[in-house]
Amino acid sequence: MNFELTADQRAIQELTRELAEAEIVPNATSWDREHRFPDELYPKLADLGLMGVCVPEEYGGGGADFLSYVLVLEELSRADAGVGVTVAVHTSATTLPILSFGTEEQKSRFVPPLARGEQLGAFALTESGSGSDAGSLRTVAEPEADGWAITGSKQWITNGSRAGTFVLFARTDPATAGARGISCFILDAEHVRVTREEEKLGLNSSTTSDLALERAHVGRDRLLHDEDRGFRVAMATLDGGRIGIAAQALGIAQAAYDVARSYATEREQFGRRIGDFQAIQWKLADMATEIDAARLLTYRAAWLKEDGRPHTAEGAKAKLFASEMARRQTAEAIQILGGVGYTKEFPVERFYRDAKITEIYEGTSEIQRLVIARSILGRQVRVEPVQRA
């Protein structure tokens, strides 16, 4: 059992860290305060191959493995989690499902512009009435002579107002309820209309949009995977995407720990560094331990995915633990800094706000526990109806 990164993985990690320190860290606070999407950043990431780092070279990518991609997300999120989620959705949720489920024509047509960063990707599954219960979506694709006309709306779509390519889900068999009868399509920006930009607690350097589709016509060449079997695409995509969110949470927590540790070595009270007090030492020890545990869970899930092994439960465990750890430990970082931690003088309050969403998107913590329980007990485990008075 070898826990060492390869030379190539370390090189990609270092390359990303250097770019993040030079281009992201100095600007992250202002992007957050201004709620500004840094359009100028992504061509720079693309120039270094970071917009398609795990995409095969024949499709315009960097040809690295999935763990290398996870390292990229961790380093980007350590600098700014909004940048991390932009790249995560672009890669895990848009580019990779086309690679996994697309025809050769689709892969050759749609993947290279994404992998080269010539356009951003978005994943359009969630609707106002279908969040955790994604199979209840209402967007409809009506058959036409040469394709489909898609009508409906989507909510909370990361990259929605900047994307050029959308992996979007719609019901092609309205007579079938639930997950069956849903198909997946590859759409262009011209097919959708942005109806609202969401105001969020955190991740203010990323864009989150509501979309409308009004009889958007797409040809049969836009169907991804088999008709009425698109839900399989969604679930497989989320299996890998959750590993990316775990990496994002890991990067946020690492950034908070770095600030807290540095502060503890400099701040003095009662004539001593606060790091000399046991209360602070224990907080830092717990932070370091939980970050290490989250990193091992996340890297293991990434290795399993790269090796072609089952990773549904392992990805769910990584996301569950890393996201809840990030929320806890960013709060502890604020506590170590005390009053200044609650102000915008230090970035730990931003880390705290950014961490919370990792417990929600790509499957809530409650859904992750359900996925894990199913792996332990079998598919008979299901969500019980809420009992109302």
List pLDDT tens digits, range 244-293: 999 999 999 999 999 999 999 999 999 999 999 999 999 999 999 999 99
Say what the pLDDT of residue 379 is.
Answer: 66
Q: Of the residues 23, 74, 75, 362, which is catalytic?
A: 362
What are the φ/ψ torsions at residue 186 (nearest 5 degrees)? -105, 115
The model's pLDDT over 98-150, given as tens digits with 9 standing for 90+, comes to: 999 999 999 999 999 999 999 999 999 999 988 888 889 999 999 998 999 99
Rounded CA-CA distance 44/42 in Å is: 5
Q: Residue 385 pLDDT > 50, yes or no?
A: no
Q: Across residues 20-33, what is the average pLDDT? A: 98
Rounded CA-CA distance 154/388 in Å is: 29
Q: Across residues 174-200, what is the average pLDDT? A: 93
Q: Across residues 3-9, what is the average pLDDT? A: 96
Say what the pLDDT of residue 1 is.
Answer: 84
Q: Residue 383 pLDDT > 70, yes or no?
A: no
User: What distance lies between CA 19 and its chain's CA centroid?
Assistant: 20
Q: Across residues 1-25, what is the average pLDDT? A: 97
Distances (CA, A) of 106 to 81, 162, 222, 226, 388: 31, 21, 8, 13, 48
The model's pLDDT over 220-242, given as tens digits with 9 standing for 90+, comes to: 999 999 999 999 999 999 999 99
Q: Across residues 145-169, what is the average pLDDT? A: 96
Q: Residue 388 pLDDT > 70, yes or no?
A: no
Q: Residue 384 pLDDT > 50, yes or no?
A: no
CB under 8 Å, gap of 24 or more: what pairs does 17-22 form?
Answer: 17/75, 17/78, 19/44, 19/45, 19/48, 19/50, 20/75, 20/76, 20/78, 20/79, 20/80, 21/79
The model's pLDDT over 334-369, given as tens digits with 9 standing for 90+, comes to: 999 999 999 999 999 999 999 999 999 999 999 999
Domains, the chain, in order of start with CATH, read 7-119 (1.10.540.10), 122-228 (2.40.110.10), 232-377 (1.20.140.10)
Catalytic residue status for 332: no
